[in-house]
Amino acid sequence: MKKVYTADSPAIAWHFRNVLEQHGIASLVKNDLLYSVGGEVPIHECLPEVWVQEGLNAKYAESIIQSIENNESTKNDMWLCQRCGESNFESFDICWRCNA
């Protein structure tokens, strides 16, 4: 497995995972649960990470993530969950945290 991205929040990590899946790349998010206990673990060890299989998919995944990062408008398309107040990407139909 290869780490292709370290996200600032679980919402971002899951957003990238969704996008990669739309491109047919299987990926997994690590540390998204540890995020909530930040403070007990050094911050760089508990940031959520996106991992994919090594090889061609990893290169493809990195290029996709790069293009998303270059597209600043992505960050303006977030919505706030009315139940838990978590921010979600527009592509999410339900809140990633509470499923509302």
Q: Which is nearer to Zn ion, 7 or 81 (CB)?
A: 81
SS3 at position 72: helix
Q: Minimum distance from CB of 100 to Zn ion (Å)?
A: 5
Provide the binding-site residues for Zn ion, judged by CB under 5 A.
81, 83-84, 86, 95, 97-98, 100
Tokens read off for 47:
């940031």
Torsional sign, CA 51, 55, 59, 61: negative
Cβ-based nearer residue to Zn ion, 23 or 83: 83
Task: Tell the residue number behind the tokens 């992505």, with chain if given.
Answer: 74
* Shortest distance, position 15 Cβ to Zn ion, whole Å: 15
